[in-house]
Amino acid sequence: MTLAGKTIVITGVSSGIGGEVARLARFHGATVIGVDRNDAMLTLDGFIKLDLGSTEAIDAALLLFPDKIHAVVNAAGVPGTTDKDLVARVNYLGLRHLTEALLDRMPKGAAIVNFASILGAEWPKRVDIHRTLAKTNSFAEGQAWLAANPAPQETCYQYFKEALIVWTMMRGHQLFLERDIRMNSVAPGPVFTPILGDFVAMLGQDRVEADAGKMKRPALADEIAGPVLFLCSDDARWVAGINLPIDGGLAAAYL
């Protein structure tokens, strides 16, 4: 796999998985522009400090992004222990807003990778709701729809990861047909990053212990980076609209 000559935008670059994706992308020859609300503690080719939960902040920062972008990796995310409106804004609405705003800078063959989660695995149970939300055309329209159809606070993380998988499939199909841009999502199982403790608090001890019995261990962040960058590479040129589990086989244990 080579990423030489590619410019890749990576959000959530200042911690955990986003940081490891950035390191590996540079190792494979990419030019990496990182995005995060916190300062980055690694070497990058460019960095944009930005609150991805705010359309105003995203719009104001657009002129800082490169004119040509070959891949966008949307790794920024907040856990479900925070307010559901914030989870909606960062994990779904803001992600969509930034992605749509960058599309015109993406040439044919470009790729987008969205971070879903194994916790989004139950999307088929709510597919009609998520499909309706996916059809909202803007951040504001999505927010208005969510005000009328509120997501549950306790499971808001799962809800918006499910929604992201459904949007990725629907929009990904369209983007590949119309623009030759590939959009996919990845669904990691538990990963050793600063957010992991929040997941334990969010899911409760019983669920965590049940899952622990079904897997070798949580992943290391660098074990997630390779498959993400494969999806960004030209080797994945016929892969579009999928949700790729990267979970050491955990999802297979739910059968």
Ligand X SMILES: NC(=O)c1ccc[n+]([C@@H]2O[C@H](COP(=O)([O-])OP(=O)(O)OC[C@H]3O[C@@H](n4cnc5c(N)ncnc54)[C@H](O)[C@@H]3O)[C@@H](O)[C@H]2O)c1
Contact residues for ligand X, defined by CB under 6 A: 12, 14-18, 36-38, 50-53, 75-78, 90, 115, 117, 188, 190-191, 193-196, 199
Length of the chain equals 255
Which element (helix H / strand E) includes 100? Answer: helix 94-102
**Which residue's CB is nearer to ligand X, number 31 or number 158?**
158
CB of 194 to ligand X, least distance (A): 4
CB of 178 to ligand X, least distance (A): 27
Q: Tell me whether residue 247 is exposed, middle or buried, using C-beta atoms within 10 angstroms of its C-beta: 0 to 12, 13 to 18, 19 or more.
A: buried
Residue 62 CB partners (closer than 8 Å, separation 6+)? 101, 102
| Residues 79 and 125: beta-carbon distance below 8 Å | no
Rounded distance, CA 91 to CA 79, Å? 9
Burial code (b: 16+ CB inside 10 Å, e: under 16) for 94-124 equals: bbbbbbeebeebbeeebbbbbbbbbbbbebe
Of 92, 157, 159, 254, the catalytic one is 157
**Which residue's CB is nearer to ligand X, number 12 or number 142?**
12
CB of 222 to ligand X, least distance (A): 11
**Which residue's CB is nearer to ligand X, number 9 or number 17?**
17
Long-range contacts of 44-49 (CB under 8 A, 24+ apart): 44/13, 47/13
Rounded distance, CA 202 to CA 96, Å? 25
**Which residue's CB is nearer to ligand X, number 196 or number 208?**
196
Tokens, residue 234: 């030209």
Tokens, residue 206: 């019983």
CB of 47 to ligand X, least distance (A): 12
CB of 51 to ligand X, least distance (A): 5
Give yes or no: 157 in active site.
Answer: yes
∠ Cα 20 24 26 (to 5°) = 120
| Residues 3 and 25: beta-carbon distance below 8 Å | yes
**Which residue's CB is nearer to ligand X, number 142 or number 190?**
190
CB of 92 to ligand X, least distance (A): 10
**Which residue's CB is nearer to ligand X, number 99 or number 117?**
117
User: Which amino acid, one-letter code, is at 22?
Assistant: A
Catalytic residues: 157
